[in-house]
Amino acid sequence: MQSRTSSSGARRSRIPRALALPGIALVMLAALVVAPRQAWAPPPPSPSGPIEMSVSVPGVAKELFFTSIKSLGTSSEVVQQKMVDPQGGESTTVHIPGRLNMLSAVLVHPLSSDAGLAAWRHLVETGDMKSARGEATISLFSLDTRQLIAKFELTGAWPSALSVSTGTDGAPIEEVTLAFDSLQRKQ
């Protein structure tokens, strides 16, 4: 590493040009390196068999049970940003997180005589979003042990789609897609 003397006479170290990164990238890198590490613990055992999910939305829908979940989560758009060395050197392209997106939860269960999902969806179809939105909890249980595996809280949840079709075995199924504002895993 080279150093040079500034006009005030103080010595400043100079980062080699090949290692020069924009200031923001250095701050992000430092945050990754300095962040405290959590003690490693082995993951809990995964369920060996099928799972069942319950969804509850207080004041909107009673507890509903589902046998399959197709998606639930979040994603971030990836934005490429070109960073140019202020001293006219090489430019670097970095990938930074862009807009956060909520992935709709798609839940499936056998069709039954319970019309609770249809009533909830009807609130959306008639424009009553104040009544349709709720704080939903999705709990995943092991069918073998009835042990809680995971719990997710969704804020501002509402059914954006509801459909009936036949499953692979020919039995009728009901599929609901839940849109939501935010997602947090509680367990």
* 40-97 per-position pLDDT tens digit: 554 554 544 556 667 777 666 677 888 888 888 888 999 999 888 777 778 888 899 9
Into how many domains does the chain fold?
1
Which of 27-36, 146-155, 160-169 is least confident? 27-36
Residue 23 reports pLDDT greater than 60: no
Residue 10 lies in a domain: no
* DSSP letter for each residue of 171-185: -EEEEEEEE-SEEEE
d(Cα 160, Cα 176) in Å, to the nearest integer? 8
Residue 116 lies in a domain: yes
Residue 23 lies in a domain: no
Q: Which residues contact 167 (CB under 8 A, 6 or more apart)?
A: 108, 110, 173
Residue 174 lies in a domain: yes
Residue 118 lies in a domain: yes
Residue 15 lies in a domain: no
Question: In terms of residue numbers, what domain contains 158?
Answer: 51-185
The b/e string for 118-146 (b: 16+ C-beta within 10 A; e otherwise) is eebbebbeeeeeeebbbbbbbbbbbeeee
Name the more confident of 65 and 37. Answer: 65
Residue 34 lies in a domain: no
Q: Which residues contact 61 (CB under 8 A, 6 or more apart)?
A: 55, 116, 117, 119, 120, 134
**CATH code, domain with 110:** 2.30.110.20
d(Cα 138, Cα 72) in Å, to the nearest integer? 10
Residue 45 lies in a domain: no
d(Cα 76, Cα 71) in Å, to the nearest integer? 15
pTM: predicted TM-score of the whole model, two decimal places: 0.64
